[in-house]
Amino acid sequence: MARRRSGSRSVREELPADFQENVVDIDVTSEMESSFLEYSYSVIYSRALPDARDGLKPVQRRILYMMDDMGLRPDRGHVKSARVVGEVMGKLHPHSDSAIYDAMVRLAQPFAMRVPLVDGHGNFGSLDDGPAASRYTEARLAPAALALTADLGEDVVDFIPNYDNQFTQPAVLPSVFPNLLVNGASGIAVGMATNMAPHNLREVVAGARHLVDNPEATLTEVMKFIPGPDLPSGGRIVGLDGIKDAYATGRGSFRTRATVSIEQVTARKQGIVVTELPYMVGPEKVIEKIKSAVQSKKLAGISDVVDLTDRANGLRLVIELKNGFNPQAVLAQLYKHTPLEESFGINNVALVDGRPRTMGLLDLLRVYVDHRLTVVRRRTEYRLGKRQDRLHLVEGLLIAILDIDEVIQIIRSSDETAEARERLMQIFDLSQAQADHILELRLRQLTKFSRIELEAERDDLQREIAELQAILGSDARLREVVSGELADVADKHGDDRRTKLLKSEDLPEVTATAAKAKTGPTLEISDDPCWVFLSTSGQLARTADRTPLADPGRRIKHDALRSQVATTARGEIGAVTSAGRMIRIPVLDVPALPDYDGVPKLADGVAAKDFLSLNKGESLVALAPLNAVLALGTKQGVVKRLNPEHPLNRDDWEVITLKGQGRTRDEVVGVDVAPEDCDLVFVTAQAKLLHFPASSVRPQGRTAGGVAGIKLAADDHVIFFGTAAASAPDSVVVTVAKADEVLPGMTEHSVKITPLSDYPAKGRATGGVRCQRFLRGETSLTLAWAGHGPAKAVSSAGVARSLPTEFGRRDGSGVALEQVMDAIGPAWSTPTTTSDADVASASSSASASASESESDLESASEDSQ
């Protein structure tokens, strides 16, 4: 007895009199097996795995077909994504709308698809965030999608019914390019899964065309065109053995690695800058992993992680390093503990004739090529049939137009259409199709121009039919058409490779296992001897070792040295400023030159003004060691020898108390190491030179104001202060005078080079002796230098040449700069040769021609360490 509900009451119904109960006993095990197999086949065939011919899952194929059917072409406007989802769900895909929208979103994401097939407008998500709802976003077909749906109306593929037999859908898309290899695929079915890597369109097409032209091609030949995957996010693939295995058997793996560079992110800090991440890895995931690894003590040497990614510059993830840590070793740890290095497992499973198969590269290409040959053959047959039918009608029209009067008489005299058709077929020997077409003629088609057009159309149709028949009659011709279409789509939609392919041994210093190896890079930088350089242009840099300086012969302006200090990588040095301050500099904070081989390239350093905290109007004078007695000279002629006693708890301190305030305040003009056996040398703007033993100046503490060094005239000031040994034969003095007004027959500069021993030593606080007599128009020295030679001049073109020493008496005048350059030789104006002199004894720099301004003059001196 059955029950039915009526309103709120349950009503009992009597069963029919002839009702017989039939209970069927079944085996639960066999029923579960059969049901599970049906479910598994449905998931495999209808949901999770792509077809090897067009590389699409059913939902993806239905989305593209429906968007094409809706006319959502690239040259038309976007429509709401919800509208597309509704059309697909209502007509072809009776499943969740979220599943359809998720599939469409992936087709539009450039970081997921190597060649996107949907042009999305709005928030279609990122690697770290999901997309907006379908009611907010808009979409249309991307240009490349038209190559997948091309020629669908020409019977190129089979159409099958939809779920309720009301509509039809293509069983596979024509797919002018190998979409499965280009965009890859991923999916999890029942008992199997697929994971295929994206490739470069141009490379895949080149491999497919080679296989079209050479059906018996080997895997080695095809891999010359397709060397490996090309991921949408770029990055690097390290190790190619797994790729070769996957191309041969369908299974393999490879390591994807981020694209990184080690840069000077601030004046004092180095950092690892990430510009490309592994496939499907987002920056937020990397940052989270780094922070977690730092907190758990798995990573050391990282001070901060900053995400500077924006739409204008793309991905930029800056990992700031602590000073004292080897960037290469930290990078190796990052590869080991974070997603900066990921493994990609290839499992090429796709449907072939409705069955899942694991295929290598050659099998995948052969399935696609066979599909494309079938598509082009069916399209050719369809077009041949259409043109033959049209030619048949055109020939009938031409017959009718030739005897148009009789045709009209036959039609007018016939009682009905069937009779007219029969009489036309009998009299003019026409087919029924030709007779029907003649009966449908309009009067305007009976002009003589229509006949000419019909004859031209007939000739064109005959030519096209012959071409189509030639394609169908020759396999070589058919393959030529397929190859040509592949080339066209590669030219239209292809781009350059983004992912670099590297062998494992290409980067031995940054592999994840290098940190464990005994020969790998140490995490912290060792305390190795090194140089710290300061150039005349204000660039700071250090070297990785203390290789002796070599002579390059040609230098740029940044490589003219002002100071050089011998120290160690974990040591400290001082920087003395014009305001009488010394700033402590940890050597590790100074940028290291990437490829120092005895020739410093200080353009790779950092500007001192950015590296040091200098006050307004304050400049860096020189670098100095902290453990040596220093001598300082000021613009007003004060000298001080400084004891190496410095505060340990301060980063900067005064080393001399300067007199005056504001614009009248004194300033430091020179700093040098001053042992007891050296001489202190002053040179003033009025060409006065004074040198006296350093032992005559007692070392003082850092707060002392110094003692009188040289006695100055009222309008004079010091332009150079340094140390030298007057008794040494290579000690020279170089002075350069400048004329305020150039008189006829004069030059703008005159230069003089004199041995220091020619100048007698005088007592401290005296006026010194004249070092250069001014010529007519000259009023002051613009440049001076004293030190251990040979003296050198460096042109603005970067050529270093030793200066001659045979010019003038100690109290004589200088020589025109052109004469000095003439004595050096023509190599000065054409810097093609190198000098044999020692670049460590850098000297006075002069301009390359007499007309260059004072701003082009550079000077540097040897720091005898």
Partners of 731 in the beta sheet?
788
Burial of 787 by CB count in 10 Å (0-12 exposed, 13-18 middle, 19+ buried)? buried
Alpha helices per DSSP H over 580-641:
608-611
The conformation of residue 132, written as its DSSP 8-state character, comes to: P
Q: Please, are residues 311 and 511 in contact by the beta-carbon 8 Å criterion?
A: no
Contact by Cβ (8 Å): 733, 663: no
Label residue 310 exposed, middle or buried (CB < 10 Å: 0-12, 13-18, 19+).
exposed
Q: What contacts 24+ positions apart, CB below 8 Å, involve 604-609? A: 604/541, 605/533, 605/535, 605/539, 605/540, 605/541, 605/558, 606/264, 606/267, 606/539, 606/540, 606/541, 607/267, 607/538, 607/539, 607/540, 608/534, 608/538, 608/539, 608/540, 608/575, 609/538
Neighbours of 809 (CB within 10 A): 10
Radius of gyration of the CA atoms of the chain, in A = 44
Number of other residues whose CB lies within 10 A of the CB of residue 493 = 20
CA separation for the pair 318, 260 (Å, rounded)? 10
DSSP labels for 79-113? EEHHHHHHHHHHHT--S-HHHHHHHHHHHH-TTT-
**H or E element that contains 632:** strand 630-634
Place of tokens 């999608």: 145
Residue 697, CA distances (Å) to 137, 708, 761, 814, 837 in order: 81, 10, 14, 32, 34
Which of 274, 260, 264 has the alpha carbon at shortest distance from 323? 264
Strand partners, 84: none
Closest CA relative to residue 718, chosen from 689, 677, 685, 758: 685
Pairing, β 718-724 against β 679-684: antiparallel
Cis-peptide into 790, omega within 30 deg: yes
What's the CA gap between 180 and 365, in Å, rounded?
10
Q: Identify the helix (H) or strand (E) that includes residue 302.
A: strand 302-307
CB 537 within 8 A of CB 587: no
| Residue 320, strand partner residues | 271, 304
Task: List phi, psi (to 5°) of 46.
Answer: -110, -5
Nearest residue to 720 via CA among 668, 691, 684 = 684
CB 636 within 8 A of CB 718: yes
Instruction: Return d(Cα 374, Cα 627) in angstroms, integer.
Output: 85
> Tokens 């003089």 label which residue?
752
Give the residue from 289, 835, 269 showing the smallest Cα distance to 555.
Answer: 835
What is the Cα 379 distance to its own chain's centre? Answer: 43
* The residue to which tokens 């850098």 are assigned: 842
Nearest of 288, 256, 275 to residue 128 by alpha carbon:
288
Spot the catalytic one: 136, 247, 279, 382.
136
The pair of three-digit structure tokens given for residue 756, joined into one six-digit string? 């220091």
> 382 catalytic, yes or no?
no
Euclidean distance between CA atoms 261 and 272, whole angstroms: 6
Q: Which residues are catalytic?
A: 136
